[in-house]
Structure 1
Amino acid sequence: MFRQLIAAATRSFATSLNRATPMLLALSLLTAGTTASAWQKTEVSMRIGSMNRTATVYLPDVPSARDRWPVVMVLHPGFATGEDMARISRLHLQPGSENFVFVYPDGFRRSWNARECCGRAQARNIDDVGFLTRLADQIGTMVPTQSKMFVAGYSNGALMAYRLACDVPERLAAFSVYAGAPRLSTSTCSPARSVPLLHLHGELDAVAPLEGGESSIASAGTRVSVLNNIQWWSQMNGCARSQPSNFISRAQCTEYSGCRNGSQTLFCIYPGQGHYWPGSEASGFGERRGLGPARSDLNGGQHMIRFFEKYR
């Protein structure tokens, strides 16, 4: 279902990743599209237990240009792939992207085990935390990388990004999510350190409603209040105050500041935006499923990179 939405929004669709290799690590170097610097588009296959796990990686063409590179792990929505997420978000093509390495991993059967909602990864209790941290370590053998990574997530990928921040906060420099909020409580999330967060959300998102409630997609069930979610995270970060922010000119942003270790929490609502990635165009199919409307004048990827730059 979401795969059809992606195709309509982006007007193109990625071919499947090559999963044929059984080796621990298989690389195929290609020339990627140009940004401020050239990239090597690399397909990575890792054997974990009885499964092959895969990812698309954008490595700097001249890795010696800096001592250690910050890694951005970009997590796709449900029913999508890492290659799809690269086409949707275009994080590696944003201003400032030349300062990062980008990793677009594939979830298990196009889903992530975020402890809740949705798909086979959760049903099978797949160790996605273990996969993503091992993947980050493997990238460090290909190019010198920083010890802490950045994480970006969309929808089901947003829930997975929150899980990483809860379970392995020591591995994250900061994270940013769009259109997804998990059920947070001290029983499921008690990170030993605070983690900076930029949470982006559509005002008219019916899949993950701002105030919580039944999702427009039946498999997503009842969703929690995004507003309560942000309050919980800002308190966990030890933030002392909140005030309006102009971080995004076309959004209504609130900044939670005075947080422990400078771990700012930013929450931005895009007026008139649904569950589509900010910058995508709406489709008739998506509107029938309650995913619209969409605003093509936005650029969610650019905002995420700007936020990550603060903690690079």
Structure 2
Amino acid sequence: MRHALVALFAVLMPAAAPAADLTEPRCHAEVPCTLGARSYHVKEPDGWDGVSPLPVLLHFHGWMRQGTLIVKHGRISGATRRRGVLLLAPNGEGKTWDFWTDQTNDVAFAAAVIEDAARRYPIDRSRIYVSGYSYGAAMAWRYACENGDAVAALLAVSGTLPQSETCPEAPAEVRHVHGTSDMVMDFPFGPDGETTWPVRLWRARMGCDGPGTRAGAWSVTEHDRFERTTWACDEGRIALDVHARGHFIPRGWIARQLDELLSLPPSYP
């Protein structure tokens, strides 16, 4: 599926521009990597030896943002660069994402970003993580829905697709965090105020459509406290973290998910 999406994006893109002047700075951090008419940003982890395969976090920015913010964001880039993870931050057209239906070019573009990065870096394809915040979280859900077989984990913050959607693919693992007071991307309460509804789509798709296991409260910092529910599914695992606040990226949440996924000692930041 991934290669078909990349081929589709290549067809949709205009002809490549002439080779860049070799005196131009290498694309990294705030200097974008061009990909046809579009672009993305990349941030290497601290202390990388230049040869070891790198886990990847593909992160979709929020509405009216760009990848330049992501590669400087302490709660995103700060987490990846301390944990040996290569951060990829694609730029949405018009500073937003088309996640509303499966008829979107953005899935193919994001798949092409990973392939382009793989030509520049030795990426570990068994550890490709996809994340996003707000509209970017909905886009991360859309990517996992359409191209999830290549995704080791979805890390979504405060944004979903409608729980009635049907996804042809799914990631190996889903981790989602959402605040019950969120009024930007409203918390999707279920019947009678059920708070496990934000991952209802994945519970059905991955074969774990039950009440789940209450793992109890946990926190990374004193600012936010989460109630975690987990599911062991026929086709993977799901973890839902619910907090009582609004629309934001909780301190240390992405970092803690990466620690757990990479079997690292929990740390902050």
Both structures adopt the same fold (TM-score exceeding 0.5): yes
- Retained in 1: the 8 A contact 2:151–2:171? no
C-alpha change, 1:87 and 1:194, in structure 2 (3 Å) is closer
Code of the aligned partner of 2:156: V
Tell me the residue number matched to 2:6: none
Number of aligned residue pairs: 237
Partner-residue secondary structure (3-state), 1:264:
strand
Equivalent residue runs for 1:59-208 within 5 Å: 59-60=44-45, 62-66=48-52, 68-88=53-73, 90-94=75-79, 97-115=82-100, 126-148=104-126, 149-185=128-164, 188-191=166-169, 193-208=170-185
Kindly provide the CA deviation profile for residues 200-222 of structure 1, in whole angstroms up to 9, marking residues without a partner as x.
11221011222459xxxxxxxxx
TM-score scaled to structure 2, two decimals?
0.75
Question: How big is the shift at 1:182?
Answer: 0.8
**Contiguous gaps of at least 5 residues in structure 1:** 1-20, 33-40, 117-121, 214-224, 279-297
Equivalent residue runs for 1:1-312 within 5 Å: 22-23=17-18, 28-29=25-26, 43-47=32-36, 52-60=37-45, 62-66=48-52, 68-88=53-73, 90-94=75-79, 97-115=82-100, 126-148=104-126, 149-185=128-164, 188-191=166-169, 193-211=170-188, 227-239=196-208, 242-246=212-216, 248-249=218-219, 250-261=224-235, 263-271=236-244, 273-278=245-250, 298-309=251-262
Code of the aligned partner of 1:251: R
Partners in 2 of 1:267 and 1:24 — Cα distance?
A: 46
TM-score scaled to structure 1, two decimals?
0.66
Partners in 1 of 2:54 and 2:186 — Cα distance?
A: 36
Partner-residue secondary structure (3-state), 1:190:
coil
**Contiguous gaps of at least 5 residues in structure 2:** 1-15, 265-269
- Retained in 1: the 8 A contact 2:163–2:198? yes
Question: How big is the shift at 1:136?
Answer: 0.2
- Retained in 2: the 8 A contact 1:210–1:227? no
Question: Among the aligned pairs, what percent are the same residue?
Answer: 20
Kindly provide the CA deviation profile for residues 267-312 of structure 1, in whole angstroms up to 9, marking residues without a partner as x.
11122x211232xxxxxxxxxxxxxxxxxxx33332332344259x
Partners in 2 of 1:87 and 1:178 — Cα distance?
A: 18
Question: Aligned-residue CA RMSD in angstroms?
Answer: 3.2
C-alpha change, 1:202 and 1:89, in structure 2 (3 Å) is farther
Partners in 2 of 1:31 and 1:144 — Cα distance?
A: 15
Tell me the residue number matched to 2:8: none
Code of the aligned partner of 1:150: Y
Kindly provide the CA deviation profile for residues 204-255 of structure 1, in whole angstroms up to 9, marking residues without a partner as x.
1011222459xxxxxxxxxxx9742312312322226612225742433333
Partner-residue secondary structure (3-state), 1:80:
coil
Tell me the residue number matched to 2:4: none
Partners in 1 of 2:261 and 2:62 — Cα distance?
A: 20
Code of the aligned partner of 2:154: F
Code of the aligned partner of 2:93: F
C-alpha change, 1:253 and 1:306, in structure 2 (3 Å) is farther
- Retained in 2: the 8 A contact 1:44–1:55? yes
Kindly provide the CA deviation profile for residues 104-130 of structure 1, in whole angstroms up to 9, marking residues without a partner as x.
1110110111125xxxxx9xx651111
- Retained in 1: the 8 A contact 2:182–2:247? yes
- Retained in 1: the 8 A contact 2:173–2:237? yes
Partners in 2 of 1:25 and 1:70 — Cα distance?
A: 28
Partners in 1 of 2:73 and 2:183 — Cα distance?
A: 20
Partners in 2 of 1:99 and 1:144 — Cα distance?
A: 13
C-alpha change, 1:194 and 1:71, in structure 2 (3 Å) is closer
